[in-house]
Amino acid sequence: MAKIFAFIFFLFSVAVATEEEITISISPKANPVQKPIGHQISLVCSVKGAGDEKPGMIWKKHGGLDRTGNVEVKKLDENNLGLIIRNSSVEDSGVYYCHAQVGSKKYMNKMDVIVFEDIVFSDKQLHLGQVLATASVNISCEVSAKKDSVITYWTRHGKQVLEGGKHKFYKGGAILEIQNYQPEQDAGQYTCEVFHVSSGSSNTKTVTLGTTVEKNYVACHQMCNSFCTDVQNKFFTSN
């Protein structure tokens, strides 16, 4: 009797062991997969431990696998199903599911794919030397991405630059025009931060305006101002 039980137990463990061996995985191992627009992305879904049984395998994505015309599925062999995204676009981002069936058992794994806009500044110039007094000057933070899909945030020495007065924006804020340039007021560093909202990418550029002497004068002036404000605050609050 004990022998029969032992035998049944043995069969049971073998059955459990073989079932536990079946795994479904997606390569690359890093999740999520992140690539800039236009790159080719490949995922491989693999079923291991199925033995002689041929798994049924399929790739899926919410709303349809290939809405952009960039996705191709390739059966590499009985246990490996590839998915290739050629010339990827932001719309190809999302969760890709690999489903497999071995006998009556179903398996699933998933992978996040993030395709982001690579933000490259069109104008590479980071220093505009001497600008004539009373002239107008443009600082460009135009980028490779579509204009309507980015937000540009301008600062000067840490303070936001808004439209109005001598500051005018063009091309949805991508170009800052400084009118009636006064070296002793307007020289210095201008920083733009460009946000590509739908993909979550951003990039920053700082452009320096004016000669070294002018920049130093403005910086010194600002330091004096904040020093005087400090002293003033201390003086009045201590009274």
Ligand X SMILES: *[C@@H]1O[C@H](CO)[C@@H](O)[C@H](O)[C@H]1NC(C)=O
Q: List interacting residues with ligand X (CB under 6 A).
A: 38, 87, 89, 136-138, 170, 175, 177
- Minimum CB separation from ligand X for residue 76, in Å? 23
- Minimum CB separation from ligand X for residue 196, in Å? 15
Edge-to-edge strand list for the sheet holding 56-61: 33-36, 105-116, 94-102, 56-61
- Minimum CB separation from ligand X for residue 176, in Å? 9
CB 80 within 8 A of CB 101: no
Query: What are the phi and psi torsion angles at 134 (to 5°)?
Result: 75, -5
Query: What are the phi and psi torsion angles at 125 (to 5°)?
Result: -70, 125
Q: What is the DSSP letter of 31?
A: S
Nearer to ligand X, 65 or 137 (CB): 137
CB 207 within 8 A of CB 127: yes
Structure tokens at 27: 């390569």
- Minimum CB separation from ligand X for residue 195, in Å? 21
- Minimum CB separation from ligand X for residue 183, in Å? 16
Query: What are the phi and psi torsion angles at 29 (to 5°)?
Result: -70, -25
**At CB < 8 A and 24+ separation, what contacts does 48-51 make?**
48/21, 48/22, 48/23, 48/24, 48/79, 49/18, 49/21, 49/22, 49/23, 50/22, 50/79, 50/102, 51/18
Q: What is the DSSP letter of 210?
A: S
- Minimum CB separation from ligand X for residue 121, in Å? 15
Nearer to ligand X, 50 or 119 (CB): 119
Nearer to ligand X, 22 or 192 (CB): 192
Nearer to ligand X, 28 or 38 (CB): 38
Nearer to ligand X, 73 or 175 (CB): 175
Nearer to ligand X, 47 or 150 (CB): 150
